[in-house]
Chains A and B, each alone.
Chain A
């Protein structure tokens, strides 16, 4: 009995040690979200090796990793500090697969460019939240775009969960952009449609009023880089959208759409 308890305790210790090697932020994500994987390789076969590369796989197949003895440069990680390496990616873009193909978990390890001789860490991994399938009240066309593209925010009022807001016939958009600033940090809900204007001005701003396309569909078309009041070195990384009435006393939930850089 003692042996069993000891074995369980040792296993738990190993799990804790293992868990401390890698952090993924955000910890909960879908295959279409941007994530940052940070790995501490201290005590592994690649401690002190530079540069290091990530090697990734999923239920639907491997990412384009290159070959085991010659990782592709697209998989190179960024050195955070001695023996700590990170990489920021969007799984669907990184794997070049759809969210459905990636499935519900990703796996990865960190290796030298030439992994011959087991120059690698142990396998690591993370669950991936399933993307809710089926029509959503909020979507954006096209599904992937840059800040320079023509983007149409589409709202299907029939699918609105707030029953009170379903009755609204004049719909406005409250929207802000998440940006990567010139200093490199990401600021959420950072840039509004016009500098200094916020929730109170939405109902009096014609360019924020959505166009009715019929059948409960409303749209607003914009070019992110021109629409939001950006600072000179800003890069837009996501759009934040709330649908509301003119008075601003009835609204939808918060919505977010990533912008490809």
Chain B
């Protein structure tokens, strides 16, 4: 009977040791959601331009076309021919249809970090990031916000790019 008791104790200890062994492997956390140089480097094709009325949104107007938003490619189809190429510290714009693109015409770019987050200075034109993507998603959304002379935001232009 004592032998059975000792054997049981040994088995219990073995089980305890086994439970403590660090064998578990965790899957990789994955790519960061961040805005870094790699987030914008390369050539981007403009796929969609959405004009948004932030004042109509704030006033609770209906979420309808010509009230809160308008897809501008419907009236300027050449938006989808536009491309932007970001290299180390400069960018170029290809705009064969000469459509009204409020992202500057090319030149130097740099990140601008403020309390509100990270923005983009495109040759003097300040642009916000509409969404944060993983680099591998190959997506980029830039937002140009038109302001009045008094500094009130009147209109948002959302530019959706993909590679």
Q: Once bound together, how far apart are the Cα atoms of A74 and B59, in whole Å?
A: 24
Chain B positions 135-163 with a Cβ under 8 Å from a chain A Cβ: 146, 148-150, 152, 154-155, 157
A221, B75: Cβ atoms closer than 8 Å: yes
Which chain A residues lie closer than 8 Å to B150 at the CB level?
74, 93
Among A96, A139, A146, A261, the residue within 8 A (CB) of B146 is A146
Chain B positions 52-93 with a Cβ under 8 Å from a chain A Cβ: 52-53, 55-56, 58-59, 66-67, 70, 72, 75
Q: Once bound together, how far apart are the Cα atoms of A98 and B52, in whole Å?
A: 17
A159 in contact (CB, < 8 A): no
Identify which of B55, B66, B149, B150 gathers the most chain A CB atoms within 10 Å of its CB.
B66
Count class of interface residues, chain B: 20 to 34
Q: Once bound together, how far apart are the Cα atoms of A142 and B157, in whole Å?
A: 11
Among A100, A150, A217, the residue within 8 A (CB) of B72 is A150
Q: Once bound together, how far apart are the Cα atoms of A104 and B65, in whole Å?
A: 30
A260 in contact (CB, < 8 A): yes
Instruction: Report the nearest B residue to A226, measured CB to CB.
Output: B100
A148 in contact (CB, < 8 A): yes
A219 in contact (CB, < 8 A): yes
Which chain A residues lie closer than 8 Å to B53 at the CB level?
141-144
Among A142, A152, A223, A261, the residue within 8 A (CB) of B55 is A142
A149, B155: Cβ atoms closer than 8 Å: yes
A154 in contact (CB, < 8 A): yes
Closest-CB distance, B104 to chain A (whole angstroms)? 14
Q: Once bound together, how far apart are the Cα atoms of A34 and B154, in whole Å?
A: 16
Chain A interface (Cβ < 8 Å from any Cβ of B): 74, 93, 96, 98, 100, 139, 141-146, 148-150, 152, 154, 211, 217, 219, 221, 223, 260-261
